[in-house]
A and B are shown apart, each in its own frame.
Chain A
Amino acid sequence: MINIEALTKDFGSLTVLKGISTSVHKGEVVAVIGPSGSGKSTFLRCLNGLEQATTGDIKVQGIDITDPSADIMKVRQKIGMVFQHFNLFPHMSVLENVAYAPKTVKKLKEEQAHVIAEDLIERVGLGDKLSAYPNQLSGGQKQRVAIARALAMEPEMMLFDEPTSALDPEMVKEVLEVMQGLAESGMTMVVVTHEMNFAKEVADRILFLDDGHLVEEGDPHTFFTHPQSTRAKKFLNKIL
């Protein structure tokens, strides 16, 4: 579904990604882990063009999004994204937040968009909050609305950028449960996360990034019990 070839990314004189090649297959849940500053988020943001790759290719269903002539907006409609800080639209109600993109981008009729939105908001367990505004919600609720908002575009794939890092501990679970449900429904997902249990239990594959390199990749069981590289060993020793 996504093929990444020798991806590099510079911010000025700082090289954040130093040649990453991998792929994400349909229906797969990939967890991207690594120490902070390793380039995980930048890597994820390259996948929908929020960051422009410096060199290398990223092919999404055959379309090379590093090509300036590629229709990135079209590609983004197929890739949902959930941010660490939710980024809900504060001046819109929960319902409007979720219905906005189908209405504006897909040009659905208002009622149609509302039906889709209400259904998704129900699915993330916030059916009673339709007319609430983001600042009336807890962090966990905000993030669930953000997930519903991304799903409203009926994406073929979802990117999660540390979705639980900004949450109070007691709210992490409700968000992870929604994500797990999504994974079980067969959604293709790339998740940058510090939640090792989630990576272990839900992910099909782990990408371990350190200092801009893809140091190790493999199935969670092998990675967590028998990491190959010393860097992965060191990282796991610190956090487990």
Chain B
Amino acid sequence: MKLDFSLLVPYIPFILEGIWVTLKFVSMSIVIGFILGTLLAICKIGSIRPLKVVADVYTSIFRGTPLLVQLMIIYIAIPQLTGYDISPYVSAILAFGLNSSAYVSEIIRAGILAVDRGQTEAAAALGVPYRQMMMNIILPQAIKNILPALMNEFITLTKESAIVSVIGYVDLMRRAQIVGANTYHNFEPLLFVALIYWVMVYGLTLAGKGIERRMRASD
């Protein structure tokens, strides 16, 4: 077997452009997943029963079915049902954001429950309203505890992003396939994007460690 990476050279800018294309929807999905996940977590620990049921059912559906299936359903079903011609970009953000929020909500729920009950009581005794208590007292402490788990979820999301290539979104993975088809050499472009994914994940890991260190400063 011989590898010929020189074949790749003309395609390098094309593949590298994929980094931005991938990051563009992954970062949006992370933001959506995080915000929606936080809201779901609050529904789960709250005392309003219908909200709790909705959040639990939601989590069950999005954790209980493959992400690939969710992605295909969103991409194919939305135009059929509503007539709205959804782009691969928006489908990808929706599928990944909604899916991730189910996992994030479980992570945050556990993090909130791990905060000492005395914190809630101290805030209540001072007359602090629920929303402010959550935002200023409970969540900041919960986030600190769950940061490693949350980083893990973001890393998974970044890697799993490769499956959007199936709906024709021209991300890193799709670009590797295109280059493979053009040059009749699949191995080299795949190895190249594997390296890029690894570098991206490594960057995320370092960023996570940095944030963790900063947050531990008050310990």
Contact = CB atoms under 8 A, between A and B. Distances in A.
Interface residues of A, number: 26
A76 B125 contact: yes
Contacts of A89: 119, 122, 137
Interface string A56-84: 00000000000000000110110111010
B126 A50 contact: no
Most buried by B among A48, A76, A104, A135: A104
Contact of A83 (B118, B140, B141): B118
B136 interface: yes
B83 interface: no
A231 interface: no
B128 A104 contact: yes
A77 B218 CA distance: 28
Contacts of A100: 126, 128, 136
Contacts of B132: 104
B219 A83 contact: no
A213 to B, nearest CB: 26
B127 interface: yes
Nearest to B122: A87
A87 B118 contact: yes
Interface in B104-155: 116, 118-119, 121-122, 124-129, 132, 136-137, 140-141, 144
A108 interface: no
A85 B128 CA distance: 19
Interface residues of B, number: 19
Nearest to B144: A91
Contact of A105 (B119, B126, B140, B218): B126
Contacts of B219: 133, 135
A89 B137 CA distance: 7
Nearest to B137: A89
Contacts of A147: none
Most buried by B among A48, A83, A101: A101
B121 A83 contact: yes
A12 interface: no
A133 B126 contact: no
Most buried by A among B116, B122, B127, B132: B127
Contact of B128 (A79, A87, A101, A133): A101
Nearest to B135: A104
Contacts of A86: 118
Contact of B127 (A76, A85, A87, A133): A76
A161 to B, nearest CB: 10
Contacts of B144: 91
A74 B118 contact: no
B159 to A, nearest CB: 32
A205 interface: no
A73 B129 CA distance: 7
B118 A85 contact: yes
A83 B219 CA distance: 22
A67 B126 CA distance: 20
B207 to A, nearest CB: 21
A89 B125 CA distance: 13
Given A90-B218, A153-B127, 10 more contacts: A74-B127, A87-B116, A88-B122, A89-B122, A91-B144, A101-B127, A105-B129, A135-B219, A149-B126, A153-B126
18 contacts: A50-B121, A50-B124, A50-B125, A73-B129, A76-B124, A80-B125, A87-B119, A89-B119, A90-B218, A91-B141, A91-B144, A100-B126, A100-B136, A101-B126, A105-B126, A105-B128, A149-B126, A150-B126
Q: Which 5 A-B pairs have the closest CB atoms?
A: A87-B118, A87-B122, A77-B127, A81-B125, A101-B126
Interface of A: 48, 50, 73-74, 76-77, 79-81, 83, 85-91, 100-101, 104-105, 133, 135, 149-150, 153
